[in-house]
Structure 1
C-alpha cells in the first residue's frame, strides 16, 4: 500500500508529487514498522480485512514547548466518500492524545478538497485559516487550509 501511493500517478489525488523511491517504504518498515516517535503510518482497514488506505502522523513544534502532530490520510479511490476517512482520522487523533503528551493535532488540506474539509470537521477539527503559498504542486505555489483539534476539544462520536 505504501509503495503504491509513491509510484502510481493520480492514486493519491491532489497530493501526487511525482515518482519517489519505491523501495523506501520497505526500508522504513524494516527499521521500525513505520511507528516512530517523530512520524509514522498505519493502514486503514475495513472490516478487518480490506486495506482502504493509510493515515500518517508527523511531529512538529511551535516554540520551546509547543510540540504537536500533523496527521494526513490517503484512501484508495474505491473507498472514498463512505465515511471511512473521518473515522480513521478521529481514531488516530484519539490515539495520539491517549499515548502522547501533545495538546494539539493539526491537519492541512487543499482549498478545493471539500470532502476532506467536511471529514476533518466531522472528526472534531476546527478550521484555523488559510496558509498562503504553502505547497508547490502542479507547477505553482498553492494555498492550504489548516485545521486543528486540541486535547480539550470534544471528541467526536463514531
Structure 2
C-alpha cells in the first residue's frame, strides 16, 4: 500500500507531490517495520472486512529546541473515504501517542479546500489554530495550510462524543 501511495498520481488526493522511489517503503519496512522512534506508519484496517483502508503516520518535531510534539497524518484509499474511518483512526493514534510518550501536543495540517479532513480532525478532538501561509509547494505553487492541534489535556472524542 505504501508503494501505491508513492507511485499512483491522484491516489493520495491533494497530498500528491510527484513520483517517489517505489522501493523506499519496502526498504524502510526492513529497517524497523515502519515503527521508528521519531516517525512511523500504521495500516488502518477495517477488521470486519479484513481490508486495509489506508494508513496513519506520525513524526516528531521540536518547538524551541526542547518541546517535543507529534505531527500526524492520514491517507485513505478513495473508496474508504467519507465513512467515518479517518477521524476514528486519528483519534486512536492520538490516544496511543499520549499513552506511550510524554508529548503534550499533537498537531496535524490540512489543505484549506479539504473540508472533509477538517471535520475529521475536529471529530478526533483537534482544534483549529490558524492558517499557515505559503507552507507547502504543491501543483506548481506555494499553498496555505490549516494547522490543528490536540493537547494532552483536551477532552478525548470518546469522552465528549465526536463533534
Q: CA deviation at 1:64?
A: 3.4
Q: Which residue of 2 aligns with 1:11?
A: 11
Q: CA deviation at 1:71?
A: 0.1
SS of equivalent residue, structure 2 residue 107: strand
Q: CA deviation at 1:66?
A: 1.0
CA distance in 1 between partners of 2:65 and 2:113 (Å): 34
Count residues in correspondence. 158
TM-score, normalized by length of structure 2?
0.95
| 1:47 partnered with 2:32 | no
CA distance in 1 between partners of 2:104 and 2:138 (Å): 30
Provide, for residues 54-81 of structure 1, a one-character-per-residue CA deviation record: whole Å limited to 9, x for no partner: 0000000001321100000000000000
Indicate the RMSD between aligned Cα atoms, in angstroms. Answer: 0.8
CA distance in 1 between partners of 2:128 and 2:39 (Å): 23
CA distance in 2 between partners of 1:57 and 1:20 (Å): 19
Q: Which residue of 2 aligns with 1:21?
A: 21
SS of equivalent residue, structure 1 residue 87: helix
CA distance in 1 between partners of 2:132 and 2:151 (Å): 19
CA distance in 2 between partners of 1:66 and 1:118 (Å): 27
CA distance in 2 between partners of 1:131 and 1:98 (Å): 29
Q: Which residue of 2 aligns with 1:129?
A: 130
CA distance in 2 between partners of 1:91 and 1:101 (Å): 16
Q: Which residue of 2 aligns with 1:37?
A: 37
Counterparts of 1:68-83 in structure 2, within 5 Å, are 68-83=69-84
Structure 1: gaps spanning 5 or more residues? none
CA distance in 2 between partners of 1:102 and 1:4 (Å): 31
CA distance in 1 between partners of 2:106 and 2:97 (Å): 8
Structure 2: gaps spanning 5 or more residues? none
Q: Which runs of 4+ in 1 moved over 6 A?
A: none
Q: Which residue of 2 aligns with 1:115?
A: 116
